[in-house]
Amino acid sequence: TREPKPWRVAPKRQEMVQVFGVYPEQVSRVIPFREMIEDVRDRQDPGVPDMKLRMPERFREEIFWWFPGDEMTQDDREPGIVLGSKLAEKLSAEVGDVVTLYSAKLPEGDDIDPNDVDIKNERFRVTGCFQSGRYEYDSAVAFVHGSDLEFLGRAGANCDEVRVRLSDPALAAGVKEEILEKWGRDLGGISVMTWEDRMANLAAALKFEKLAMLVVLSCIIAVAGACIGGILYMVVLEKTRDIGIVLSMGATSSGVVGVFLAYGGMLGLLGILLGVLLGTQVVDHLNEIIRWIERIFDLRLFPPEVYQFQGLPTWLSVPDTVRLAVYTFAWCLVASMLPAIRAARLDPLRSLVYE
């Protein structure tokens, strides 16, 4: 047989990792593998043009779907492993490098003899990297095919976890309760967890931040409405004589109130339209704006090792946007009411005499 070409010797580094044995044809229904796996063609070792990586056929089809015509069939080499992007950086591992997985099984009991620890290991060849967007996953998680965990005695029908993907993440708590009601609260050591349970601290922080943002936004809206009310009040003071003339010519108080309310409503509507247009653009390009600021001022606003995200996940909630726009418009009308009533209650004679 032909001897394989030598591979690049990677530095020997060790990291604690969590390895998931997955069956891509099933797990791809829950985890968006195709969006997570990086295109590794530019990262292949140029000195190994005919590199063949041992990957189960279905794993190759599901994950490495951008390699049309590549011969990535099974042979006698090491099984493939997909590393998190940050984990690969910490290990200085590139596509084609060989890594060794060690698994230690501790004996039962309180008195543990180091000689009784069952340590198993298996060599895997790096076939790609994935990027989920969460630093804690990208820096400590690796994926292999479920059938390649035989060295742990965990292959076949054994399963540690079943994941269910819902169309609406907000329904997770309700589905959990339905499962517990149907199968009972005591499942014999099996736990049912939602994404909120797994990330309880993060979910609590997000709820608090959402409440804080609501308070800040309410203050901004209140100040904007007060500014509109102040503008209209100054108009009433400056146009007292004109208002008196209009009232003396037969204009009704309700008509004067309507004019000022329409003026305040137009100012509020213009501000709402400009705010929505500018806000949607900022939301859509928030990460680009952050990177631009970091590049200009040479700083890091949101380090991923601290905030656990590669970038700020953003989405635009249309119902919330419409609701805030309606509330803002209503507050602008309320703020316009006081100067409008003052203008309507002016005495035409006193306005003409003293102005």
Question: Could you say which of 198, 219, 243 is where a domain stops?
Answer: 198
User: Please, how many CA atoms are within 13 Å of residue 317, restricted to the half-sphere of its CB?
Assistant: 7
Residue 41 reports pLDDT greater than 50: no
CB atoms within 10 A of CB 24: 21
Residue 12 reports pLDDT greater than 90: no
Instruction: Judge if 92 and 109 occupy the same domain.
Output: yes
Count of the separate structural domains present in the chain: 3
Instruction: Judge if 278 and 343 occupy the same domain.
Output: yes
Residue 2 reports pLDDT greater than 70: no
Instruction: Judge if 64 and 172 occupy the same domain.
Output: no
Domain-located, residue 316: yes
The mean per-residue pLDDT over the stretch 121-133 comes to 81
* Cα dihedral 70, 74, 76, 82 sign: positive
The mean per-residue pLDDT over the stretch 210-231 comes to 90
Domain-located, residue 156: yes
* Cα dihedral 337, 338, 340, 344 sign: positive
Round to whole Å and give the CA distance between 203 and 200: 5
Instruction: Judge if 137 and 221 occupy the same domain.
Output: no
Q: What is the per-residue pLDDT across 292-350, written as a single tens digit (0 to 9) for each?
A: 998 898 888 877 766 767 677 788 888 888 999 999 999 999 999 989 988 888 877 77
Cβ partners under 8 Å of residue 178, min gap 6: none
Domain-located, residue 7: no
CB-CB contact of 120 with 165 (8 Å): no
Domain-located, residue 10: no
> For residue 178, what are the domain limits?
167-198
Pairing of strands 98-105, 118-130: antiparallel
Average pLDDT, the chain: 76
Q: What is the DSSP letter of 31?
A: S
Instruction: Judge if 223 and 310 occupy the same domain.
Output: yes
Cβ partners under 8 Å of residue 89, min gap 6: none
Domain-located, residue 5: no
Question: Could you say which of 179, 198, 217 is where a domain stops?
Answer: 198
Instruction: Judge if 141 and 35 occupy the same domain.
Output: yes
Q: What was the pLDDT predicted at 79?
A: 82
Domain-located, residue 311: yes
Q: Is 199 exposed, middle or buried (0-12, 13-18, 19+ CB in 10 A)?
A: middle
Helices (H), 133-252: 135-138, 172-183, 195-198, 200-238, 240-248
Domain-located, residue 273: yes
Question: Could you say which of 177, 198, 219 is where a domain stops?
Answer: 198
The mean per-residue pLDDT over the stretch 237-254 comes to 84
Joined tokens for residue 272: 């709402």
Domain-located, residue 68: yes
Residue 156 reports pLDDT greater than 60: no
Joined tokens for residue 65: 């779907």
Residue 126 reports pLDDT greater than 90: no
Instruction: Judge if 237 and 125 occupy the same domain.
Output: no
Instruction: Judge if 189 and 175 occupy the same domain.
Output: yes
Where are the strands (E) in 5-157, listed by range?
18-22, 80-84, 98-105, 118-130, 141-145
Instruction: Judge if 206 and 191 occupy the same domain.
Output: no
Helical (H) or strand (E) element with 81 = strand 80-84
Instruction: Judge if 24 and 139 occupy the same domain.
Output: yes
Q: Give this prediction's pTM.
A: 0.56
Instruction: Judge if 60 and 87 occupy the same domain.
Output: yes
Segment of 91-100, 158-167, 300-309 carrying the highest mean pLDDT:
91-100
Instruction: Judge if 171 and 161 occupy the same domain.
Output: no
